[in-house]
A and B are shown apart, each in its own frame.
Chain A
């Protein structure tokens, strides 16, 4: 008995062993030990899984950092981030036009896509009948499964000529990028927002109806405010998706490394420039691409931090 108790203490609080009084001590020890081994090996397995992911992030960050930091020293942080000329083959490494492009296309896509996605989420969780929901939800989820190159192709072949007819240019530019990205971020934002809405306790809906509120009043006065932390989380994750999107954007924005003169003029983003230039860049140019990767890394770290602090804030409020 003493041995088995020690075993169980070692196993920690996460591994409760069976303790049946009256059964033979040998049998009990046998069970407890095999249970303990199973529990602790599973714990090790899951720890390993988590470590691989964390190590992946750490290694990528280390690799990108090591390859890219030199550009900050060489060009200077301010000249690199805010220089307005990206002419890498002639030694001009200003990435401001690319940072501008990344944020401009992302913010516009969010303005278009987020209301669409939140509306979808409200419809799926509050309005739709189970039958309609069972058709619509898989359809929205399917959007997430379409490879981004298909979105890009659709944008290039179908959307771009339409935009070109309206604007008179080639149709490459912010508008085309906004439309494509807005569709692409809908599944991310709507899935998480719907989760947030559905996880609200049914009591607050009933309370709202009991007070005489209509369905619409319940939605916009009670449910959406109650789920707002989850919805903001969803929007931030959608933003992360949009800012990192490469292939679809590459095909519809025209890739000119300048701050565009209008919403239907070609421009570039950080990710598309990395992809296009990686094919031939060498020396400082290559280092500058890694420097841009560092900036992207920092942006996504800020976004993740925002989500984390928001959900902590949400817990305090709730």
Chain B
């Protein structure tokens, strides 16, 4: 039951509540259930953490569904979910819903180029004009006279969605840019092509490629956490009031160093809670 839920979480919650209400003398089961609805970006972490949480606490059940950040915020504020996960900040009209924000991770995106590319840094504006197709030669960016090979992701990608939201700012991606399905392919193509530029989650950057500075700030964990690296967003859990009961235990579990350094880092995100020695 805790696996990927394609049916709306509301339905689930209703069904579960109905079972609980008609329950023949069992202890109130809904107190041992956590429903998490929202961002598809957060879905993998919430789900795997949920499975591990259930294994560690066999009494509890975690229902996770990915319907998008807006649906998550809607669902938690209407009471159909315990936790609404969101990869965006609250909009103005959502501010007075009484939601409490628990940041769980950073999603930072590195702009990567070939290691031999002499360009070390780009401004947000330059990156936008490259990916929208206005700038097509590295010489316009202080590099050699070399055609820019733009590598984009497919539209199903959460990274593409985040990159488009943070960097493109309403502009369209150049439709003639190559589209590759998968972080690994983007990285390997950029690593092999002198003129290429692409973007991947910061957590997946390896020495094969060079992550450029954006607006003069290096793409490092420290700069993401310190809020100086611009191409990043915060992943949130929203609850109505501070989390309580089973939801609170689940949130604590997600913030534990096991999950932060395990599932969260493995998914390419930057832990929100970093153990420092």
Using a CB–CB cutoff of 8 Å, the interface residues on chain A facing chain B are 87, 89, 156-157, 160-161, 164, 168-172, 250-251, 254-258, 260-261, 265-266, 276-277, 279-280
Q: A161-B192, A169-B149, A250-B181 are in contact. Are A266 and B176 (CB under 8 A)?
A: yes
Given contacts A89-B155, A277-B155, contact A169 B179 (CB under 8 A): no
* Docked-complex contact A255 and B193, CB < 8 angstroms: no
List, in ascending order, chain B residues with CB within 8 A of A280's CB.
Answer: 155-156
Is there a chain A Cβ closer than 8 Å to B25's Cβ? Answer: no
Q: Chain A's nearest CB lies how many Å from the CB of B178?
A: 4
A266 pairs with B179, CB closer than 8 A: yes
Report the interface size for chain B: residues with CB under 8 A from the other chain: 22
Question: A172 near B178 (CB under 8 angstroms)?
Answer: yes
Tell me which residues across on chain A come within 8 A of B57, comparing CB atoms.
none
Chain A residues lying within 8 Å of B178, measured Cβ to Cβ, are 170, 172, 254-256, 266
B180 within 8 A of A: yes
Choose from A156, A265, A276 the contact partner of B185 (Cβ within 8 Å). A156
Chain B residues within an 8 Å CB radius of A251: 185
A256–B149 CB distance below 8 A: no
Residues in chain B near residue A161, CB distance under 8 A: 192-193
Partner pick for A276 among B146, B181, B192, B196, CB 8 A cutoff:
B181
Closest approach, in angstroms, between the C-beta of A90 and any C-beta of chain B?
Answer: 9
Contacts of A156 in B (CB 8 A): 185, 188-189
Given contacts A169-B147, A280-B155, contact A256 B195 (CB under 8 A): no
Residues of B within 8 A of A89 (CB): 155
Q: Is the CB of B155 within 8 A of A170?
A: no
Please tell me if the beta carbons of A256 and B176 are within 8 angstroms of each other in the complex. yes
A264 CB, min distance to chain B CBs, angstroms: 10
How near does chain B come to A249, taking the closest CB pair, in angstroms? 13
Name B157-195 residues within 8 Å CB distance of A.
Answer: 175-181, 185, 188-189, 192-193, 195
**Is B151's beta carbon under 8 Å from chain A?**
yes
9 closest residue pairs by CB, A with B = A254-B178, A170-B149, A280-B156, A255-B179, A279-B156, A266-B178, A172-B178, A258-B176, A256-B176
| Cβ of A274 to closest chain B Cβ, rounded Å | 13
Could you name 11 residue pairs across A and B whose Cβ atoms are closer than 8 Å?
A168-B147, A169-B149, A170-B196, A255-B178, A255-B181, A256-B152, A257-B175, A258-B176, A265-B176, A276-B154, A276-B155
B154, B178, B193: most-surrounded residue (chain A CB, <10 A): B178
Query: In the complex, which residues of chain A have a beta carbon less than 8 angstroms from the beta carbon of B195?
Result: 168-170
Please measure, in the bound complex, the distance between the C-alpha atom of A170 and the C-alpha atom of B179, giving whole angstroms. Answer: 11
Residues of B within 8 A of A87 (CB): 175
Residue of B nearest to A157 (CB): B188
**Cβ contacts under 8 Å, B152 to chain A:** 256
Chain A residues positioned under 8 Å from B181 (CB to CB): 250, 255, 276
Q: Which residues of A contact B175 (CB under 8 A)?
A: 87, 256-258
- Shortest CB–CB separation between residue B112 and chain A, in angstroms? 14
User: Of all chain B residues, which has the CB nearest A170?
Assistant: B149
User: From B175, which residue of chain A is reached at the shortest CB distance?
Assistant: A258
In the assembly, what is the distance between CA of A257 and CA of B196, in Å?
19
Smallest CB separation, A189 vs chain B (Å): 30
A171 CB contacts on chain B under 8 angstroms: 193
Interchain CA distance A182-B177 in the complex, whole Å: 25
Residue in B closest to A161 when the chains form the complex, CB atoms: B192
Most chain B CB within a 10 A radius of its CB, from A89, A260, A276: A276
CB distance from B255 to the nearest CB of A (A): 30
Q: How many Å lie between the Cα of A200 and that of B149 in the bound state?
A: 52
Chain A residues within an 8 Å CB radius of B185: 156, 251
CA distance in complex: A170, B154 (Å) = 17
In the bound complex, CA of A77 to CA of B189 (Å): 38
Inside 8 A of A277's CB, which chain B residues have their CB?
155-156
Chain A contacts of B176 at CB under 8 A?
Answer: 256, 258, 260-261, 265-266
Please give, as numbers and ranges, the residues of chain A lying within 8 Å of B146 by CB-CB distance. 168
Q: Min CB distance, A105 to chain B, in Å?
A: 15
Q: Smallest Cβ distance from B162 to chain A, in angstroms?
A: 15
Given contacts A169-B149, A169-B195, A170-B149, 18 further A-B contacts (CB under 8 A): A156-B188, A160-B189, A161-B192, A164-B193, A170-B193, A170-B195, A254-B178, A254-B179, A255-B178, A255-B181, A256-B152, A256-B178, A265-B176, A266-B176, A266-B177, A266-B179, A276-B154, A276-B181
Flag if B179 contacts A256 (CB, 8 Å): yes
Bound-state Cα–Cα, A206 to B79, Å: 88
Residue in chain A with minimal CB distance to B181: A276
| Beta-carbon nearest neighbor of A253 in chain B | B178
Closest-CB distance, B58 to chain A (whole angstroms): 34
Q: Given contacts A257-B175, A276-B179, is CB(A170)–CB(B156) below 8 Å?
A: no
- The residue among B151, B154, B188, B189 with the most chain A CB atoms within 10 A of its own CB is B189
A172 to B178, CA, bound (A): 7
